[in-house]
Amino acid sequence: MTDAFDYYLGIDGGGTGSRGRLRSKDGTLLGEAAGGPANTRLGVVQSQMQVDRIAREAIKAAGLPEAALKKTSAGIGLAGLHILADKEAFLEWEHPFGAIQISSDAHVACLGAHQGARDGGIMIIGTGSCGYGLVSGHSVNVGGWGFTLSDLASAAQVGLSALRYAIAALDGIYEVSPMTDQIMFRFSDSQEEMVLWTASATPAHYGEFAKLVVEYADRDDPVAVKLMSQCGSEASAIMRALAWRGINDITLMGSFAEKIEPWLEADVNALLVDGKHDAQDGAILLAGGRLPPPTMEH
């Protein structure tokens, strides 16, 4: 249907940064570009501007004139797009492309991981977390309701748990360990300082402490092992929820995923499959484009 286009642009618009990739209609890589966050919850206009900027940079990187945008079919995955009103507002845009397809960032990541198959799932574990999958092309969402209520097994949650444990350990409520000592040391051994720090802390700030938990778990710190084990158990529960909906091929993604993998419970390992392509190429599939075989990529 879309073979009418010369170019296919895939954009993965995330909450902290965005990436774009331009391919020819036969799948050849022409150019790439990166930019800031495009989460529609941060403002639909800002999101559109970000997409526009990345598109023009990718065209430029490919050595093409701006007029090529009209010959381009764009596929865009956007964080925050599960809010229907945001999707409708985004689509009112007078975009520069020949055609446009939009979907959530999870959807394009899933398309990429499973090469556009109508069945397959992903579990994104980064600062936040989310399970997503397709069953006969229908989407299934598991978790991902944000830091306060959800985001099980995410770096932000692990970091917060570590701070909660450390402040209680200093009061003798829980056991002290080298990791809890190290955390309190970072706050000058002052619980009051930690309390004041949290007043302006974002999920990403809590997520920074997850690195420390991983590092100490590798050294068998008893508290760090407890937290990573809990985290692995939560991630396993998300994977079982996907499997229960009929999604039996799950690809792990996100900045914290490889740290969690060793802590998954034994039964869910059978569900894991390697991803075939990344989210930008998933977005190119959404746009109707083609990809070279995965082996050519790396």
Q: Which residues bind its own copies (CB under 8 A)?
A: 83, 131, 141-143, 145-146, 148-150, 152, 160, 163-164, 167-168, 171-174, 191-192, 194-195, 198, 237-238, 240-241, 244-245
CA 74, 77, 80, 85 dihedral sign is: positive
DSSP codes joined into one string, 72-136: EEEEEEETTTTSHHHHHHHHTS--SSSEEEEEEHHHHHHHHHTTT-SSEEEEEESSSEEEEEEET
CA 40, 41, 44, 45 dihedral sign is: negative
Q: How far is the CB of 218 from its own copies (least distance, A)?
A: 25
Nearer to its own copies, 33 or 163 (CB): 163
Query: Are residues 183 and 162 in contact, defined by beta-carbon separation less than 8 angstroms?
Result: yes
Cα–Cα distance, 126 to 254 (Å, whole number): 5
Nearer to its own copies, 242 or 286 (CB): 242
Q: How far is the CB of 90 from its own copies (least distance, A)?
A: 18
Q: How far is the CB of 143 from its own copies (least distance, A)?
A: 6
Q: How far is the CB of 192 from its own copies (least distance, A)?
A: 8
Nearer to its own copies, 137 or 172 (CB): 172
In the structure encoding, which two tokens stand for residue 204, read together?
């990403």
Phi, psi dihedral angles at 61 (to 5 degrees): -60, -30
Q: How far is the CB of 31 from its own copies (least distance, A)?
A: 37
Q: How far is the CB of 198 from its own copies (least distance, A)?
A: 5
Nearer to its own copies, 111 or 235 (CB): 235
Q: How far is the CB of 82 from its own copies (least distance, A)?
A: 8
What SS3 class is residue 208?
helix
Q: How far is the CB of 158 from its own copies (least distance, A)?
A: 15
Query: Are residues 57 and 84 in contact, defined by beta-carbon separation less than 8 angstroms?
Result: no
Write the CB contacts of 141 (distance below 8 Å, at least 6 apart in sequence): 82, 106, 130, 131, 132
Nearer to its own copies, 1 or 173 (CB): 173
What SS3 class is residue 145?
coil
Nearer to its own copies, 161 or 280 (CB): 161
CB burial of 175-187 (b: ≥16 within 10 Å; e: otherwise) equals eebebbebbbeeb
Nearer to its own copies, 44 or 160 (CB): 160
Unique residue bearing structure tokens 């083609």: 290
Nearer to its own copies, 29 or 237 (CB): 237
